[in-house]
Amino acid sequence: MKKWLIASSLLGISAFADDAVTAAAATATTAASAVAETAATVAAAAPAPVLNSGDTAWMMISSALVMLMTPIGLALFYGGMTRAKNVLNTYAMVFGAFAIGFVAWIVAGFSVAFGTMDGPMNQIIGGFSNVMLSGISWTDFASVELGQLYPKYVFVVFQGTFAAITIAIAAGSAIERMKFSTWMVFAAIWTVVVYAPIAHMVWGGGYLFNLGTLDFAGGTVVHMNGGLAGLVLAILLGKRSGYPKVAMKPASVILTAVGAGMLWFGWYGFNAGSAFGANAIAGVAFLTTTIAAAVATLTWIAIEYMVFKKPTLLGAASGAIAGLVAITPAAGFVGVSGAFIIGIVGALIAFFGVTALKKKLGYDDSLDAFGVHFLAGLWGAIATGIFALNDKALLWDGPMKASGDRMGQIMVQFESVAIVGLFTLVGTIVVYYIAMALTGGARVNEEQESQGLDESVHGERGFNL
């Protein structure tokens, strides 16, 4: 009897336990279903990213402005400074550089600059997963994570205009003596092999980006890069026949001044467009760009008058470009006083490079791509660390934004210019010899150079007057 009572009790307890477990399981299932339904409801309620029409319009206009800078602005700026017998060839080198540079950008440059790859090589290049823009859809946004809700295709074009003008800048050091075929081959290879990796390192998630380099719109990526590549070409090609004993007067200072004005106009897309939207930071860049260009123009005129007793239009145009170059890396990071100082010093440094350094070292930088773009770009890159506002809303990730460490930021800026300079130097030498080998020499013969490249190479004249 006792055993029967114990057994009955155990059976009752077991049944109760089973019921409890079943009830708990049912409760858990119900709770899980409720959570899942809630998550689904939240997901359904979260709005999908919507195209920002204002930002899209601004980025398309900015891309068009930067495009205008090369085959019109820079081509006229350089063409006017060239001797009359080489005006057309100079224009063709800049125009051709834009076309082939952009094609190279679409084929592989964009992938190398803004793609990603596994392993340590991603510190230098982004890989080849987006060759011919594969993997990118017309419906993709530039960056949902960063709130850049305009088409990625627009971003591709915008960055492509930067790539194209960078190689075109280098043409200014090589004009009047370089074979057109060699130049075109050089421009295509250089865009992928030199420009794209530097763009990746600074902007695309590479080593200098992770280090915290501040380069708002291309002081290192565009101007130092293109200017130094030009100097390398000038040295490897050798001096123009008769330089510096023969007077080499510009064909038309007016063309150069018109080109400078077009460049200034297009630079608003270059700098303000690098805010990647119609926003307040674009307004900062718009203002600082104008200040630096204007004050640099006045600085060049003033110093030219003090040294040579004549203020020239060519000097005013050169000063404007020097100021624009200098402010480029700092445009969205500095205030009014910083823009003034950067513009003034940028003009002084470029003036020294054009009038003194070139003569002292004896290189033939035909149109002063190195003297203006590299030197002013170098100053601007360092000055960005010096004058950047300590405002986290403006700054990119780096020592300044993380802890207000200005000296640490300046050291990062120095490291960035050193790495970019070394990469450009070595890369340009390698690409030059590849292009020379593929085209059977890089320099035109003496007869062509004497006759002028307009007629001897293109069979045309820039002016039939």
CA–CA dist 307, 444 (Å, integer): 37
The pLDDT of residue 434 is 98
CA–CA dist 97, 379 (Å, integer): 26
Kindly give the residue spans of alpha helices, DSSP state H, lying in 46-119.
53-68, 75-81, 87-104, 110-114
CA–CA dist 288, 343 (Å, integer): 9
The pLDDT of residue 464 is 85
CB 71 within 8 A of CB 98: yes
Rg (Cα) of the chain, in Å, rounded?
A: 29
Q: Which of 274, 406, 296, 276 is nearest to 345 (CA)?
A: 296
Q: Which CATH number, 3.30.1360.30, 1.10.3430.10, 2.170.130.10, 3.40.50.12280, labels domain 53-458? A: 1.10.3430.10
Q: Which residues contact 337 (CB under 8 A, 6 or more apart)?
A: 387
> With a cut of 70, which residues of the chain have pLDDT below it?
1-46
CB 159 within 8 A of CB 110: yes
The pLDDT of residue 465 is 75
The pLDDT of residue 113 is 98
> How many other CB atoms are found less than 10 A from the CB of residue 7?
10
Structure tokens at 63: 């891309």
Q: Which residues pair with 178 in a beta bridge?
A: 443
Q: Which of 164, 195, 154, 155 is nearest to 71 (CA)?
A: 164
The pLDDT of residue 47 is 79
The pLDDT of residue 161 is 98
Q: Which of 383, 423, 374 is nearest to 214 (CA)?
A: 383
CB 377 within 8 A of CB 342: no
Considering the entire predicted model, what is its pTM? 0.89
The pLDDT of residue 69 is 98
Strands of 127-254 (E only): list them. 141-143, 148-151
Q: Are strands 141-143 and 148-151 parallel, antiparallel or unpaired?
A: antiparallel
CA–CA dist 257, 316 (Å, integer): 8
CB 219 within 8 A of CB 384: yes
Output the CA–CA distances (angstroms, integers) from residue 183 to 95, 194, 233, in the order listed.
12, 15, 10
The pLDDT of residue 24 is 41
Q: Report the SS3 class of residue 248.
A: coil
The pLDDT of residue 27 is 45
CA–CA dist 374, 135 (Å, integer): 35
